[in-house]
Amino acid sequence: MAERLEDLNLPNTVITRIIKEALPDGVNIPEEARSAIFRAASVLVLYATCAKNFAMKGKRKTLNARDVLSAVEEMEFQRFVTPLKEALEAYRRERKGKKEASEQKKKDKDKKTDSEEQDRSRDEDNDEDEERLEEEEQNEEDEMDT
């Protein structure tokens, strides 16, 4: 449990990075405004912890997106629900696309490996055939010499 009020704040570096990513290049934000955003974000997260109540009602220990969306609605931030759902769907599509790309890359790698193994096997067979031919030729020469 937090011993001081400051322990409940989110890491400033994380909030600063989020702010920088959200603002256009070249836009600066004063320290006072940044401090207000830090506090607001921390308060929002503390309020959002009521999402654990929805997980507990579902007899779960792990919060899921549905729990967080329910908590946002309960906090009377309904206007954020639709954008959050859209962002969640975009995230899921992106994650699914990355997973499919990773699986495709693995399949391509496996196919390439199989193909290389077949080529290696063919090369080995050809080498064996060449050795056999050379051996037969040598045997024929030896027989002619005798």
**pLDDT tens by residue, the chain, 146 residues:** 455 656 667 788 888 888 888 889 888 889 899 889 888 888 888 777 778 888 888 898 888 888 888 888 888 888 989 999 999 999 999 999 888 888 888 877 777 776 667 767 776 777 777 777 777 777 766 666 65
pLDDT on residue 102: 85
Look at residue 34 and give its three-state secondary structure. Answer: helix
pLDDT on residue 91: 92
**What's the pTM?**
0.49
Beta-carbon contacts of 68 under 8 Å, excluding residues fewer than 6 positions away, are: 48, 51, 84
